[in-house]
Amino acid sequence: MTMIKTAGIRAGMLPMAVLAVLAAGCGTERAGESAGAAGPSRTPVATPSTPVDFTCPGESPTSAPPTTAATTGPAVPPTDHYAENHGFMVPFPLHGKQRCEGLQAVGRVEKALEPLRKRGDFAPENTRTALTGLGYSAGQVRSYQNGSTGVGFLIDAFPLCVEGTMNRDSTKADAFGGYPDHSGCDRPSGGH
């Protein structure tokens, strides 16, 4: 006669039973409901404040961003989770003093690259030379060919990042404060 051993099965059931008990107890209290009349009252948790932006030197008051609280995402969650899954690629905006520093950096970069643009010089090495001439180290500046008649650049002076493009029509630059879950200015290529 053959005997079936059940000790291994019983040992595996214990962790599953503990997990089921813990999961059943979670989420039973809803927001706005009290845990009981005799229980201690809960104090509200402080929420992070929205940074206030102000007019930076050289900026007109009408071009300054509004100081009202803005929502950071849609009121209804996306159904396809694209925005949620790609949020790591959305750069942090600059606020307050850092925003002013970013605007100054963008102005200096555009001014330094304008002579190259007017000459039609879109060589990445010349763009890099112009940007290192602003005081950024060679390790902080990257430039690359952007199409047949343009150049792209990234200045990694983290936590201040400046990225942009230059072509026959214009020089555009933008300052930002890096990316979530990533230290540095280069756009992350992978998420969760």
Model confidence over 31-59: pLDDT tens digits?
A: 555 555 555 555 555 555 666 777 888 77
Least confident of 22-26, 86-90, 150-154: 22-26
Question: Looking at the domain assignment, is residue 3 inside a domain?
Answer: no
With a cut of 90, say whether residue 144 has pLDDT above it: yes
Number of domain units in the chain: 1
In Å, how far are 30, 32, 46, 106, 112 from 122, measured between CA atoms?
A: 60, 61, 50, 18, 13
Predicted TM-score of the model (pTM): 0.63
**What is the residue type of 192?**
H
- Report the pLDDT value the prediction gives residue 7, as an integer from 0 to 100: 52
- Report the pLDDT value the prediction gives residue 32, as an integer from 0 to 100: 52
The whole domain housing 142 covers 87-176
Question: Looking at the domain assignment, is residue 95 inside a domain?
Answer: yes
Mean of the pLDDT values across residues 21-30? 52
Mean model confidence pLDDT for the chain: 76
With a cut of 80, say whether residue 160 has pLDDT above it: yes
Question: Looking at the domain assignment, is residue 107 inside a domain?
Answer: yes
Query: Three-state SS for 111?
Result: helix
Helix (H) or strand (E) holding 144: strand 141-145
Tokens 């979530």 map to which residue? 180
Mean of the pLDDT values across residues 121-149? 95
Q: Pick left, alpha or beta for residue 123 (phi over 0 → left; psi -120 to 50 → alpha; otherwise beta).
A: beta
* Six-digit token string for 88: 């790591």
Question: Looking at the domain assignment, is residue 136 inside a domain?
Answer: yes
* Confidence label for 103 from pLDDT (cuts 50, 70 and 90): very high
With a cut of 50, say whether residue 66 has pLDDT above it: no
Question: Looking at the domain assignment, is residue 27 inside a domain?
Answer: no
Among 151, 153, 157, smallest CA distance to 94 is for: 157
